[in-house]
């Protein structure tokens, strides 16, 4: 694990979140389209949360700290 860089991992999650935002809708309609949109929203949320995390690697333990409080409560 000596070559693992947690900052690079966070950057990859930021890139994934951005790519979900740019993901084109497939030529589907109805419930399939709704499911695709719903999944894209969940993917973006998950990738963006990890991409915004403060990351720390100590003694082989990776810690992600994600502040979920509204911005007016920070």
- In this predicted structure, what is the pLDDT of residue 2? 61
* 73 domain-assigned: no
In this predicted model, what pLDDT tens digit does every residue of 4-57 receive, in sequence order? 999 999 999 999 999 999 989 888 899 999 999 999 999 999 999 999 999 999
- In this predicted structure, what is the pLDDT of residue 74? 77
The residues that bridge with 56 in the sheet, in sequence order, are: 63
* 41 domain-assigned: yes
* 20 domain-assigned: yes
Structural domain span for residue 33: 6-68
* 45 domain-assigned: yes
- In this predicted structure, what is the pLDDT of residue 37? 92
Contacts (Cβ under 8 Å, ≥6 apart) of 23: 40
- In this predicted structure, what is the pLDDT of residue 17? 97
* 40 domain-assigned: yes
Please give the tally of structural domains in the chain: 1
């Amino acid at each position: 694990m000596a070559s693992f860089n947690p900052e690079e991992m966070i950057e990859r999650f930021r890139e994934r979140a951005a790519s979900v935002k740019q993901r084109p809708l497939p030529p589907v309609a109805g419930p399939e389209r709704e499911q695709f949109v719903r999944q894209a929203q969940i993917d973006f949320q998950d990738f963006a949360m990890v991409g915004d995390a403060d990351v720390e690697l100590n003694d082989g333990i990776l810690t992600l700290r994600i502040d979920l409080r509204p911005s007016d409560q920070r």
